[in-house]
Structure 1
Amino acid sequence: MSRPYPATADDLGSLATTVPTASAVSWGAILAGAAAAAALSLILLMLGVGLGLSSVSPWARDGVSASTFGTSTVVWITVTQVAASAFGGYLAGRLRQRWAHTHSDEVYFRDTAHGFLAWAIASLATVTLLASAVGSILGSGAQAVGTAAAAGAQLVAKADSADTPMGYFVDSLFRKEGDAAVADPVSAAPLIEVGRIFATNLQATTLPPADARYVAQLVAQRTGLPQADAEKRVNTVYTQMQTQLHSAKTTALEAVEKSRKLSAYAALWLFIALLMGAFVSSWVATYGGRQRDL
């Protein structure tokens, strides 16, 4: 019995032409898994909104603020992401073509990649649909800062208006007491002028002496108080106004800080949920691939 000769390069080339080669990426299976995952994610989000378990609406114009991103929303988004990713990953692995003459480690890697790609495409589609919701979560901190700054600018711009807290304090300067408190409205000119003086010195703890004396003269002309008493009233009212404005500023800053922390909390949990979805989709795709090969 003769010993066979080693295979030559020509023999290996002819053998390679007889073995059919299959693409390492089954885009049809990936797109099918991604579509299924995106659809299931949308359905579960709608169910969560209907049951009151989630404040994230699947509709484009109904977003969510970070303050409403509570525990139930975190749990439901995580469940939605895991369930939809698992379903999409399984389909991506189960529907892909069979890779003949491929090492088991390579098959495992390809199935994992198919699950990850299905998750990635489904996530991009879902985020596109929920752009307003995600944007409102991540941008609520900046919106709160902008609102606080706009409120402060509005207060200065409308310092001569009776619709602002400063207008109340300016009016209180010109009140008459006792029998003199008759229906005698103050002309708008001194109110506007005093409002501008107060607004200009908002950052100061006390009015400059010259401004305090001038405002006291206007108050004395209106109320008949002595100059000393008028100056005392001006300083007292200005101090009360500063106290209230400081309290309002502190409250606004606390609200901004709270909104910033809630935005960071919501973004962190969205990241964790998406990371879990990527892992589950990649892992379940390997199970679906094994079922396909069996």
Structure 2
Amino acid sequence: MQTQNTQTSTRYPDAPTTAAASTRSAVSWGAVIAGAVIAAAVSAMLLAGGTGLGFLSMSPWRHEGISESALAAGSIIWLLVTQIIAYGIAGYVAGRLRTRWIDAATDEIYFRDTAHGFLVWALSAVVGLALLGSTVASVVSGTAKAGATAGADAATALASQLPQAGVRTSALDYYTDVLLRPNDPSRMANDGDARQQVSMILAHGGTQGQVSQQDRPYLVKLIAQRTGMDQAAAEQRLAQVSDQARQTAQQAEQKTRAAADAARKAAASFSLWAFASLLLGAFVASLAATVGGRARDR
């Protein structure tokens, strides 16, 4: 056996000699945890300062303060700078505090230092995401609700304005009115009942796209009686008001869709820049750990 080992060493002079494996882990968890705590603290400090600067740069008055585009660009730049500073300091400290390896090759030391920096970033990111999980869930939920609201039809936008006008409606109010509607509009108890009845008919017509053929003759008769105009003029007024109500509802729907689309784009942009900042933080922490490790070895 000794002769065979001698022959192997002669044939492969660069082959490493067999050594007993170490029972200790190469990861200095104390240094990793210390670096992660430093990264979290420095990030919180810089984000707090950036938030204060953002509030100082904004103004509730029109044409004063920083613009929205400049504020968004400044926030992104500050986020990237925060990652560089926080994880640069954390990675360097972790590299300086880690255990010194005597029996490891140069390439192995470089890999271990890089791994320590990456572990600092990973631990800090996991803890930060766990703490911010509720906030992210709220943002996603708000975006989903905005998209669902944008998908509502024009009738929903019209019906949402009825409570502001003092009209209380429900899904069955229209059908209740149909059942109790008198054949002669003059038997209506008061003007308030007539207004509420017209509002319900218009709201139901909005859900169908137009006032139904069943409701139109009664509504024309009611308008003519309440206004004193003839039937032709009442029909013309009904057509004009119905078109105006439809246009108002369509404009409200377009505004809602535009707001939902803006929220979707903002959420997508934030997610992409957050990904870029996290990737930058991982790179900076790994690189800074190698620098700190080399300083530790010197």
Give TM-score, length-normalised by structure 1: 0.75
Aligned to 1:26: 28
Aligned in 2, Cα 1:160/1:213: closer, same or farther, shift over 3 Å? farther
> Which amino acid is 1:264 matched to?
A
1:192 equivalent to 2:178? Answer no
User: CA offset at residue 160 of structure 1?
Assistant: 7.0
1:250 equivalent to 2:254? Answer yes
Q: How well do the aligned residues superpose, as a CA RMSD in angstroms?
A: 3.4
Structure 2 CA distance for aligned equivalents of residues 67 and 94 of structure 1: 41
Structure 1 CA distance for aligned equivalents of residues 203 and 222 of structure 2: 17
Q: Deviation per CA, 1:195-250, whole angstroms, max 9, x where unpaired?
A: 22212221445423332211011111111111111111111111111011111111
Give TM-score, length-normalised by structure 2: 0.74
Aligned in 2, Cα 1:219/1:122: closer, same or farther, shift over 3 Å? same
Match of 2:274 among 257, 270, 273: 270
Structure 1 CA distance for aligned equivalents of residues 129 and 97 of structure 2: 25
Structure 1 CA distance for aligned equivalents of residues 36 and 56 of structure 2: 23
Structure 2 CA distance for aligned equivalents of residues 247 and 155 of structure 1: 10
Q: Deviation per CA, 1:94-139, whole angstroms, max 9, x where unpaired?
A: 1111112112222111111110111111122333444455445444
Match of 2:108 among 82, 106, 125: 106
Structure 1 CA distance for aligned equivalents of residues 223 and 37 of structure 2: 74
Aligned in 2, Cα 1:102/1:41: closer, same or farther, shift over 3 Å? same
Structure 2 CA distance for aligned equivalents of residues 54 and 101 of structure 1: 55
Aligned to 1:89: 91
Residue pair 2:204, 2:211 contacting (<8 A) in 1 also: no
Residues matched between the structures, number? 255
Aligned in 2, Cα 1:244/1:282: closer, same or farther, shift over 3 Å? same
Partner SS, residue 279 of structure 1: helix
List gaps (5 residues or longer) in structure 2: 7-17, 58-67, 170-188
Aligned to 2:222: 218
Aligned to 1:162: 165
Residue pair 2:95, 2:116 contacting (<8 A) in 1 also: yes
Partner SS, residue 212 of structure 1: helix
Match of 2:121 among 108, 119, 122: 119
Residue pair 1:30, 1:92 contacting (<8 A) in 2 also: yes
Aligned to 2:10: none
List gaps (5 residues or longer) in structure 1: 9-14, 56-65, 167-184
Structure 2 CA distance for aligned equivalents of residues 198 and 216 of structure 1: 12
> Which amino acid is 2:25 matched to?
S
Aligned to 1:62: none
Aligned to 1:228: 232
Structure 2 CA distance for aligned equivalents of residues 83 and 153 of structure 1: 50
Aligned in 2, Cα 1:288/1:39: closer, same or farther, shift over 3 Å? same
Aligned in 2, Cα 1:24/1:95: closer, same or farther, shift over 3 Å? same
Moved more, 268-277 or 121-130: 121-130
Aligned in 2, Cα 1:286/1:73: closer, same or farther, shift over 3 Å? same
